[in-house]
Amino acid sequence: MSEPVPSVKGWCPGALRPMRSGDGLVVRLQLTAGVLSAPLARRIAALSERYGNGQIDLTQRANLQLRGVSDDTWPELIGELAALGLIETDAEVEAVKNIVASPLAGPGWATTVDCHASVAALGAAIGTDPVFRRLPGKFGFVIDDGGYWPLDDVAADVWFVGRDGRFDIEVPQAGGFVRLGTVAPDAIGAAAAAVAQAFLDLRGDGEGGARRMRDLAARIGAAAIADHAGFSAAGHSERPARQARRSIGAGGPLGAGAYLGLGVVFGRLTAVSLDWLADLAKTAASGELRLTPWRSILVPGVDLEISERLLAGAVAAGFIVSPEDPRLVVVACPGAPECESAAGPVREDALALAEVAAKMVGRGVRLHVSACPKGCARTQPAAATLIRRHAGYDLVVNGRADDDPVSTGLQPQDIEGALRRLKAIEGQSIG
């Protein structure tokens, strides 16, 4: 049997331009700063059942995707989403309005700058300035308030990081970040446009042109990008990437109250589980949900005295509540039959390998299980990446799904032994 040829589209699904998958159309909703009110969460849950199959993905960019939408139900769904304010002006704006914001952004959460207004300003600039429409479809921006949860591990291209009431403008280079300059919160749209124009001018033409900022920075250096964008050379400086903090369990207080952080297994919600979250937010918290890019959801404004009871309810509802849960160190795409590019199902194997992954060397996500070489579930390198083939799994070490494997044809029962031989499991050596 020949391997399926992955369809590399180079863009993410939207609402106006949904992506066809094995279970129907995938329709992405863009929620400003990842904030979701309890009533809106209930409405989205209802729409996912009425027009889709009741399955909802929480993405790496803190968006929600409705699955299983049919060609017949899609037009009516779009009308409903437009009435809720969840539709962009056109598909071109939708494709490039990729903004990830700090999950607890807003007054009272012990941050260096409130980035909500800046998120809105950047979104408005993307909607009106034609320079953004010329960017590649997956080009993304981060607005990081400089607070408790660093966003350095998000797959993006340009970072605005809060510091002393302003934002540092940063791009990734050599495993860390280079500051191009600083900008006031109300000037973030113009600064983003300048960086976007510099990228477009310097990226090169044709197949050899850079598609992501990290590629351009590696080729010509971040300083050249800063100079072309009109930022002062005196502002250039480097910093290492900050360690991501886990967002699971009960925490706080952070000025505006405590929060619950609930992990979503492989980023897959259902209409029922989203409805449950809406009830929790309304009855025991602030009435809001905050989506994160780590496939978790924060419920701010809870009372820590009842957090254990609330967490027990979350376990019953299917959420992850312990930062030590081994499922947190594994990511996996939907696989077959939901994805037409998949060589087979992968999530059952990924769950079975979670305990193995938890023993691996490293921190954070250690194992990526992909149903094809596209690696949609994780664009960053992982300590180990498994790529499903008809004959078994290929294994990539310290790389991405499209990198060269060190082993091929592995069956699920062979994988732990292969990782031990490669000294990828703590305390193990080649035997």
The predicted-structure confidence for 279-316, as pLDDT tens digits, reads as follows 999 999 999 999 999 999 999 999 888 999 999 999 99
Which pLDDT value is given to residue 111? Answer: 63
Please report, for residues 59, 230, 250, the alpha-carbon distance to residue 13 in angstroms, rounded to integers and kept in the order given: 11, 33, 33
User: Which secondary structure element, helix H or strand E, spans residue 51, and what is its range?
Assistant: helix 38-51
Provide the pLDDT confidence category of residue 107 given band limits of 50, 70 and 90: low
When the candidates are 3.40.50.300, 3.30.413.10, 3.30.70.20, 1.10.3720.10, the CATH number that belongs to 104-242 is 3.30.413.10
271 compared with 145, residue with greater pLDDT: 271
At 258 the pLDDT is 85
* Higher pLDDT pick, 32 / 352: 352
72-97 pLDDT, tens digit each: 999 999 999 999 999 988 899 998 99
Across the chain, mean pLDDT equals 90
Confidence of residue 64 (pLDDT cuts 50, 70, 90): very high
pLDDT of residue 379: 84
Kindly report the number of other CB atoms within 10 A of residue 106's CB atom: 19
| Domain edges within the chain | 1-97+247-322, 104-242, 328-421
The residues that bridge with 258 in the sheet, in sequence order, are: 302
Q: What is the pLDDT of residues 378-398, one digit of tens each?
A: 988 999 999 999 999 999 999
DSSP collapsed to 3 states, 105-153: CCCCCCCCCCCHHHHHHHHHHHHHCHHHHHCCCCCCEEEECCCCCCCCC
pLDDT at residue 254 in the model: 53
pLDDT at 428: 47
**What are the CA-CA distances from residue 305 to residues 238, 262, 302 (Å)?**
42, 17, 9
CA distance 230 to 198: 9
- Domain spanning 328-421, CATH architecture: 2-Layer Sandwich (3.30)
User: According to the model, what pLDDT value does residue 10 have?
Assistant: 54
pLDDT in tens, 212-251: 999 999 999 999 999 999 997 656 788 888 887 778 999 8
What pLDDT score does 4 carry? 47
When mean pLDDT is compared over 171-175, 331-335, 422-426, the highest value belongs to: 331-335
Q: What is the mean pLDDT of residues 317-337?
A: 95
In the DSSP assignment, the letter for residue 267 is G
Per-residue pLDDT at 282: 97
CB 28 within 8 A of CB 56: no
Amino acid identity for residue 398 in this structure: N
Backbone dihedral angles phi then psi of residue 229, each to the nearest 5 degrees: -80, -5
Say whether 328-421 and 104-242 share the same fold.
yes
- Residue 235, pLDDT score: 63
Distances (CA, A) of 244 to 151, 236, 241, 365: 7, 24, 9, 11
Q: What's the rounded mean pLDDT across residues 268-283?
A: 98
pTM above 0.85, yes or no: yes
Question: How is the chain split among helix, strand and coil, in percent rounded to 5?
Answer: 35, 25, 40
Which residues, other chains included, contact 128 with Cβ-Cβ below 8 Å and sequence gap of 6+? none
Q: Which CATH architecture has domain 1-97+247-322?
A: Alpha-Beta Complex (3.90)
Averaged pLDDT, 134-151: 91
Mind listing the pLDDT tens digit for each residue in 346-376?
Answer: 999 999 999 999 999 888 899 999 999 999 8
Percent of the chain with pLDDT over 70: 93
